[in-house]
Amino acid sequence: MEHITPVPYQRLSLVLIALFLSLAAGRASEAQVRIVANLPDAPMPKQPPSDDQQKSNNTHSTYDILSRRSFFFPDLAFTTKPLSSGQKFLLAVDESAAPSALIVAAMSAGITQARNSWPGYGQGWNAYGKRYGATLALNASTDMFGTFLLPSVLHHDPRYFILAHGTFSQKIGHALKSVLVTHTDSGERAPNISGILGPLGAEGLANTYLPDAERTAGQTFERFGIQMAVIAGANVAKEFWPAIFKTLRIGKVVPGASPDARSDSSRQ
């Protein structure tokens, strides 16, 4: 029988210790992998928005403002859904009592008195009140003719549709073009007969309550020309109204005008 040489005790101990250390090292390496895998990702530095992202944010803000009805300019379109005749009538009433209409009428009466236009009213606070009342009546009749009556008959959309994308000059051009071209109830474009004949009819009606010297054909067409210029200027103001609204933070001043409001009934 072959003789087996016994392994010394010290050598066996070294083999066991080496085996134990290798197993321990493997477990430690595995545990380290698990710990690193569970660590959160390192925070990345916040990058400033690019020009395209900034433009997208501005466009979103514009649409957000336009998605609600305007208190200052009620005729700003906040939906593409066509208006019924009843809604056009209510819009005409809202336009007549809107802050923009009251402010413009007050300024117009002041300028008229300073130039001593409509001299039949005289001067003084009483005369200013007459001029202011006549201007309000003229605006109201313009709204009834140009926003309700003629658009209902001709199926025109009397609202103002802002050019959402465009340069400064393009927006100015769109505002001036809107004096002569309007939308129809079907979404098409048509000559703005309502927007032209409405003010002209209102000026003709004004000859029933203005002083006698203002009732001539020349004076009537002169007032009509001035009113069309005022309408063009108002269109320019409407075109840039979302930017003005956002810049002046009017939502923090006017109750219910906050841009964060999501209801269609909230107002600018």
Share of the chain above pLDDT 90, in %: 54
User: Tell me, what's the pLDDT at 89?
Assistant: 96
Question: pLDDT tens across 28-77, in order?
Answer: 444 444 444 444 444 444 455 555 554 444 444 444 444 466 788 899 98
Rounded-to-integer distance, Cα 35 and Cα 42, Å: 15
Q: Tell me, what amino acid is at 42?
A: A
User: Tell me, what's the pLDDT at 42?
Assistant: 42
Give a yes or no: residue 127 inside a domain.
yes
Give a yes or no: residue 136 inside a domain.
yes
Give a yes or no: residue 112 inside a domain.
yes
Q: How many structural domains is the chain composed of?
A: 1
Of 157, 148, 153, 150, the closest CA to residue 187 belongs to 157
Range of the structural domain that residue 203 is part of: 82-251
Give a yes or no: residue 28 inside a domain.
no
Of 264, 136, 113, 126, the closest CA to residue 209 belongs to 136
User: Coil, strand or helix: which one is 169?
Assistant: helix
Task: Label residue 80 by pLDDT band (50, 70, 90).
Answer: confident
Give a yes or no: residue 267 inside a domain.
no
Give a yes or no: residue 53 inside a domain.
no
Question: pLDDT tens across 143-201, in order?
Answer: 999 999 999 999 999 999 998 788 999 999 999 999 999 999 998 999 999 999 999 99
Give a yes or no: residue 203 inside a domain.
yes
User: Tell me, what's the pLDDT at 166?
Assistant: 84
Give a yes or no: residue 108 inside a domain.
yes
Of 262, 243, 240, 244, the closest CA to residue 68 belongs to 262
DSSP letter for each residue of 25-67: HHHHHHHHHHHHHHSPPPPPPPPPPPHHHHHHHHHHHHHHHHT
